[in-house]
Amino acid sequence: MLSNALVGLSALIIMMLGFAHLIYTFSGSKLLPRDSALQSEMKLVSPVISDETTMWKAWVGFNASHSMGAILFGLIFGYLALAHPILLFSSTFLSVVGFLMLAGLFTLGQRYWFSIPFRGIAISLVCYTAGQVIARL
Nearest to 70 by CA among 116, 120, 36: 120
pLDDT at residue 72, rounded to an integer: 98
Which residues 6+ apart lie within 8 Å of 94 measured at CB? 80, 87, 88
CA distance linking residue 25 with residue 31, whole number of Å: 6
Q: Is the dihedral of CA 73, 78, 79, 85 positive or negative?
A: positive
pLDDT at residue 60, rounded to an integer: 98
What mean pLDDT do residues 96-100 have?
Answer: 98
Which residues 6+ apart lie within 8 Å of 127 measured at CB? 6, 7, 9, 10, 13
Mean pLDDT of the residues in the chain: 98
pLDDT digits (tens, 9 = 90+) for 61-96: 999 999 999 999 999 999 999 999 999 999 999 999
pLDDT at residue 91, rounded to an integer: 98
pLDDT at residue 88, rounded to an integer: 98
CA distance linking residue 119 with residue 91, whole number of Å: 28
pLDDT at residue 22, rounded to an integer: 98
Secondary structure (3-state) at 83 = helix
Work out the pLDDT band at 7, boundaries 50, 70, 90.
Answer: very high
